[in-house]
Structure 1
Amino acid sequence: MIDWIMSLDAWQQVLVGTGFTYFMTALGAALVFFFKNIKRDILNLMLGFASGIMIAASFWSLLDPAISRAEENGDIPWLVVSVGFALGGLFLYLADKTIPHVHFGPNKEKEGLPSHLKRTILLVFSITLHNIPEGLAVGVAFGAAASAPDPRAAVLAAISVAIGIGIQNFPEGAAVSIPLRQEGLSRRKSFLYGQASGIVEPISGVIGALLVTRVTPILPYALAFAAGAMIYVVVEELIPEAQQTTSSKRHFAVFGTMLGFVVMMMLDVALG
């Protein structure tokens, strides 16, 4: 399996990786056929788990390799990763303020430019924003493998990113489709909208891979950029949303985050 993946071009590897992450999104969205509601504590656990995966992937799979690549290029490592990280956060901030969407919080506040789109579409746009940095992370990870001193180890590390992102996409898919069902949509439409939120991952992934394989000097910046974008999503929405509860059971989100971090760290250390 590894040999087959290594025989592919970087953009093809990304399509395989993001194809898996998209499949996991669709699989999670399919839960709407079995459940109409989701307990708040379970949702908080799922959101916390997704946060932990993204936090761990940001360091182990993106920032740490970015530092190593910057050192190999003879650049100033701390400056390179700081600039890339900041730009990633700024990109998501601008997207957050520009693209019309609705958060999944209890108030369902609208953000972005004024829009007359249906609330259901705005809900899908919200999770689609999350998936842009996730797809980009998989893309730059596979793109980095093309020029790595040890391509096999780098491909294994990229696979760990795809697996980690895929695992956390499962609860994210459910977190889209089930609230849409609660909004009054049919199970079929809720599933279709839920799985559609993951389509952006292959697109952003291929773009990221093509950029870093054709303009290799930007690789450490791109790795840090993806990390900054993911951390922005975690801090700006996932963790605050995971803390939304009418009870004192905030530990569901905390334990979910810790579990997600451990799972991603194990994947990266074992495969990377």
Structure 2
Amino acid sequence: MDSPVTVALALSLVGGFSTSIGALFVIVNPAPNLKMLGLLQGFAAGLMLSISFFDLAHNALNSLGFLKGNLWFFAGVLFFGVIASFIPEPSLAPTSNTKSRKKNGDEESKDGMKKHRRQVLFSGIVTAVGISLHNFPEGMAVFLGSMKGLRVGLNLALAIALHNIPEGVAVALPVYFATESKWQAFKLASLSGFAEPLGVIIVAYLFPSSLNPEILEGLLGSVGGVMAFLTLHEMLPLAFDYAGQKQSVKAVFLGMAFVSASLYFLSICLPEDLSL
């Protein structure tokens, strides 16, 4: 393995493992309540909407023009809309703590909680998919930055690592709430971070050295469409249900502000001819 690729892979692992740090924040605390979950869902929705519109779709429109950029973006929306329609809602295995059941009313409330848990688990899985899709191009950016020099690659990897910690929280929290398993929450959040070194490996070895920048920008625009769809389809409705509309909207804008600051920091770290 070439030494620049090794450096880029090591740096991307720093960013990828930061999702595990976010998961640790969740699993060392007591089981979260529904309002906290809703606020976190709102914050994560703000993160993903900002990344989708202000970063990925924005770059596609600037690079490809209004028509082509929109076509790529809505191709992503359509693609993930079709995929989501075929994804069954996962069923949860019964918890080991279920003992003798009481009255009918008690069973109904348990059924209601199980339905909540299924919805939340589905949201956590979809969030992990979206964050993985975003981490993949971040891995590409770390590789390209590392080719410019170690200092650029290191600054970029550290900025992305800070950027990924709340994303790890956003994946682990709903999974922990739904499954009551610290290991499952930690595992899924960590796996979503592994897309980052995967991005390095693919751009270094599988793509030709002269990858068409127009196709790359188009693919990133499609990722923006995927993220926008899953945010509006899965995450915002849950945030509204559990934390109320007013509090959730505040959390959305807080997430958007966080990403704007994060992207500004990334733009300072990146050389002018690279964009994320």
Aligned to 2:263: 268
Is the alpha carbon distance of 1:32 and 1:158 closer, same or farther for their aligned partners in structure 2, counting shifts above 3 Å? Answer: closer
Partner of 1:44: 38
Aligned length: 240
The answer for unaligned runs of 5 or more in structure 1 is 1-6, 71-76, 111-119
Residue from 63, 66, 75 that aligns with 1:78: 66
Answering whether residue 259 of structure 2 is matched by residue 250 of structure 1, we say: no
8 Å contact kept, 1:124–1:197? no
Match of 2:273 in 1: none
Q: 1:83 to 1:142 in 2, by over 3 A?
A: farther
The secondary structure found in structure 2 opposite 1:244 is helix
Contact 1:35 1:178 in 2 (8 A): no
In structure 2, C-alpha distance between the alignment counterparts of 1:218 and 1:87, rounded to whole Å: 13
1:223 partner letter: L
2-structure distance, mates of 1:175, 1:52? 16
Q: Is 2:80 aligned against 1:92?
A: yes
CA change 1:219–1:230 in 2 (3 A) is same
**Paired position in structure 1 for 2:232:** 235
Query: Structure 1 stretch 259-268 or stretch 198-207: which is displaced more?
Result: 198-207
| Pairwise CA distance, 1:25 | 2.5
Secondary structure at the aligned position of 1:102 is classed as: coil
Counterpart for residue 160 of structure 2: 162
Deviations 1:216-246 (A, max 9, x none): 331221221121111112111111111112x
Pick the structure with more helix per residue: 2
Matched residues, percent identical? 20
Give the Cα separation in 1 of the matches to 2:79 and 2:158.
25
What is the distance in 2 between the residues matched to 1:65 and 1:29?
Answer: 30
C-alpha contact (below 8 Å) 2:132/2:195 kept by paired residues:
yes
Instruction: Tell me, in whole angstroms, the C-alpha distance in 2 between the residues paired with 1:32 and 1:99.
Output: 26
Query: Alignment partner of 2:31: what SS?
Result: coil
- Residue 214 of structure 1 aligns with an amino acid whose one-letter code is L
1:151 Cα deviation after fit: 10
* 1:60 maps to which of 54, 68, 74: 54
Amino acid in the other structure paired with 2:49: I
Task: Provide the rounded CA distance (Å) in 2 between the counterparts of 1:250 and 1:41.
Answer: 11
Q: How high is the TM-score relative to the length of structure 2? A: 0.67
Give the greater-gyration-radius structure (CA).
Answer: 2
**Residue 200 to residue 32, structure 1, CA distance change in 2 (3 Å):** same
Stretches of 4+ moved more than 6 A in 1?
A: 143-147, 154-158
The answer to whether the Cα contact below 8 Å between 1:160 and 1:271 also exists between their aligned partners in 2 is no
Superposition pairs of residues 173-212 of structure 1, within 5 angstroms: 173-182=171-180, 185=181, 187-188=182-183, 190-200=185-195, 202-203=197-198, 206-207=201-202, 211=207
Q: From the superposition, tell whether residues 59 and 25 of structure 1 become closer, same or farther in structure 2 (CA, over 3 Å).
A: same
In the alignment, the residues of structure 2 paired with residue 161 and residue 94 of structure 1 have an alpha-carbon distance, to the nearest angstrom, of 34
The structural deviation recorded for 1:129 is 2.4
Q: Which residue of 1 aligns with 2:218?
A: 221
Within-5 A mapping of 1:121-132: 125-132=125-132
Gapped regions of structure 2 (runs ≥ 5): 92-113, 268-276
* Deviation of 1:271 (Å): 3.4
Q: Shift of residue 38 of structure 1?
A: 0.6
Match of 1:259 among 254, 261, 269: 254
Aligned to 2:136: 136
Cα distance, 1:39 vs. partner? Answer: 1.9
Q: Does the Cα contact within 8 Å between 1:48 and 1:257 map onto a contact in 2?
A: yes
CA RMSD of aligned residues (A): 4.0
CA contact (8 A) 1:127 1:176 kept: no
